[in-house]
Amino acid sequence: MLRHIALCLSATVMLGCTSTSASISAKAAKNTPLYVVEAATIRYPNQARNAVSLTFDDGRASQVLVGTPILDKYQAKATFYVMAGAVNLQLARWQHAVANGHEIGNHTTSHLCTGNFQWLRDKNAGLEQVDLTWLRNDIEQNNQALKTALGVTPTAFAYPCGNTFVGRGLKTQSYVPLIAEMFDSGRTWLDETGNNPGYTDFAQLTGIRMDGLSFDEIKTILEQLRGNQSWLILAGHDVGEKGLYSVDQQALARLIEYLQDPANGYWLDTVSNVAKHLRAERTQPE
Ligand SMILES: [Zn+2]
């Protein structure tokens, strides 16, 4: 902890550096960095300039019917944020994906989003109608079901629809602190920027859409956002034909080839592997 304080004082940009930091529990410190370090001090493996994670939401069947065969061909590892109910529809293939080293993250049991979505209005459901206790239980249930189905305990979470609240109006509460407590990371959705590796909050990692884009369009986005040694987390849903909620399978293959070419300066790994690396980098003496 003494080293943390010294680093805190030496950091060019400081956040939350107080004399009380020593009393903060190890768990809290893990989820809430006590300070911010300059992105320029962060190092990635193999002298890469950026980290990239490929992520897919919902546990859709096409992810293991079309997606993981492409990823496995290149030995690329992705993070899948899933509901156990969806996984159980293709259980053997998901077990195979886990055996091949892909990461399984939690995406809640009920996939509740804002009740403005018609499919939730039809069920008289929505994040506006629940509280943090309900949501914690919904998330814990999914963790338990995934442990049973796949033998893994997720350390990564993705907010369904990117929504991070419960309640409405004056009674609205953020559930980001709940995710910071329960997981090593949480990813949002439809963000416009990457994650500054020295600054980003692991409980609100940004996610950039890769659904519906060609390889060239995805490459252009990566090039635009790769400043500050950003960690770029791409997010999609189905894999197959290009669509509003579907990653083009040819684009995915070309993207992996591009990211794995050392000349392009990217480190491709799962969300939890990159998060773990960055946490360690943030505590390295300069
Ligand atoms: Zn989702």
The 10s digit of each residue's pLDDT in 18-49 is 333 334 444 455 555 444 688 878 999 999 99
Claim to verify: residue 30 and residue 104 sit in the same structural domain: no
Same domain, 31 and 143: no
The verdict on 30 and 146 lying in the same domain is no
Please tell me whether residues 29 and 96 are part of one structural domain: no
Q: What is the 215 CA–ligand 1 centroid distance (Å)?
A: 23
Q: Identify residue 223 by its one-letter amino acid code.
A: E
* 157, pLDDT greater than 90: yes
Question: Residue 272: pLDDT above 80?
Answer: yes
Percentage of the chain exceeding pLDDT 90: 83
Task: Measure 160 CA to ligand 1 centroid, in angstroms.
Answer: 4
Residues 101 and 203 placed together within one structural domain of the fold? yes
Q: Which pLDDT tens digit goes with each residue over 84-120?
A: 999 999 999 999 999 999 999 999 999 999 999 999 9
Based on the domain organization, do 136 and 222 belong to the same domain? yes
How far apart, in Å, do the first and last CA atoms of the chain sit? 16
Which has the closest alpha carbon to 283: 51, 1, 18?
1
Q: What pLDDT is stored for residue 195 in this prediction? A: 97
Give the model confidence (pLDDT) of 191-238 as tens digits: 999 999 999 999 999 999 999 999 999 999 999 999 989 999 999 999
**242 pLDDT tier (thresholds 50, 70, 90):** very high
Looking at the structure, do residues 210 and 278 belong to the same domain, yes or no? yes
Q: How far is the CA of 39 from the centre of ligand 1 (A)?
A: 30
How many angstroms is it from 211 CA to the middle of ligand 1? 13
Helix, strand or coil, per DSSP, at residue 182: helix
Strand ranges inside the chain, DSSP E: 50-58, 79-82, 103-106, 156-158, 165-166, 173-174, 185-187, 208-209, 231-236, 238-240, 246-248, 266-268
Do both 217 and 256 map to the same domain? yes
Same domain for 124 and 242, yes or no, is yes
For 52, list phi and psi in degrees, rounded to 5: -130, 135
CA of 187 to the centre of ligand 1 (A): 11
Q: How far is the CA of 199 from the centre of ligand 1 (A)?
A: 26
Instruction: Tell me how far CA of residue 67 lies from CA of 62, 140, 190, 264, in angstroms.
Output: 6, 27, 21, 23
Same domain, 4 and 87: no
The answer on 269 and 195 residing in a single domain is yes
pLDDT higher than threshold 60 for residue 8: no
Per the structure, the complete domain to which residue 20 belongs is given by: 1-36
Same domain, 25 and 55: no
* Residue 252 pLDDT exceeds 90: yes
Ligand 1 centroid from CA 43, angstroms:
32
**What CATH number is attached to the domain comprising 217?**
3.20.20.370
Distance 158 CA to ligand 1 centre (A): 8
**Token pair for 4:** 């943390």
Q: Domain count of the chain?
A: 2
CA of 33 to the centre of ligand 1 (A): 27
